[in-house]
Structure 1
């Protein structure tokens, strides 16, 4: 999959290589699916902000606190959930600062992969000492109407709004 990559004028010299950002998502997904809070949180900076899907705002937390919280979830409510993440967009704000938009969903092991994404995630990723780390993470539910005709009434087709989701 190729994500949309845009650059601000100050970031024009920045490489458009998306591999470091794909690696961040791959690590998060592997950590979630292996039920390892430590692996999941390893991509986060030493102090980062995290907005949980239900709106809880955790400011300035450590990877250890992130790992501990996720491990508790993996041991209980998410123990049979599988996570999939798809990189949708990368925007270089500066050569060392990237805004990422990611589409994601969880589903029960053994069930089919969801047709539509369930969350949109915004991440601010900063390069420090040649390593990209997540400094801010905001997880938000995608609200889709249960009305059967909702896709036909949408001003933008779902396949356009979540284009990268439909590429795989």
Structure 2
């Protein structure tokens, strides 16, 4: 089992002795401080998932707000609809790292059609759908959800076109 832990195949850690003073664990260590479990209720608390991913959304249409003050969003309406599938939710970029050019609408209006699980409906408002981050002499343009998914959303075509044809003119 130790090899599986060291190879990150098993989501557990080997422990140090319960009475040893241990240094803070870093990401590469497979040992962590001993944890004494004294009851079944405490065991249930210890094994509770803490870093689980959101539930998978099979498909919904969501409302998106667009920052129209950027060349990448030129020719795009302030409000768009996007498809949302999967379980990927991204944190907004800080202004030091890049720009969030489109984000999911507030909770009360985010769902345009379909079904969003309650946890996703609470989690995605104001999270980015379109981000741009400078990288070296160029930039990284990232979409949280595919703008071309099944060619449903015509409103995303100008942004995709700007990504393909204007972005090279904006790089060094």
Q: TM class by shorter-chain length? A: under 0.3
Q: Using structure 2 for the length normalisation, give the TM-score.
A: 0.22
Structure richer in strand, relative to its length: 1
Which is higher, the Rg of structure 1 or of structure 2? Answer: 2
Structure richer in helix, relative to its length: 1
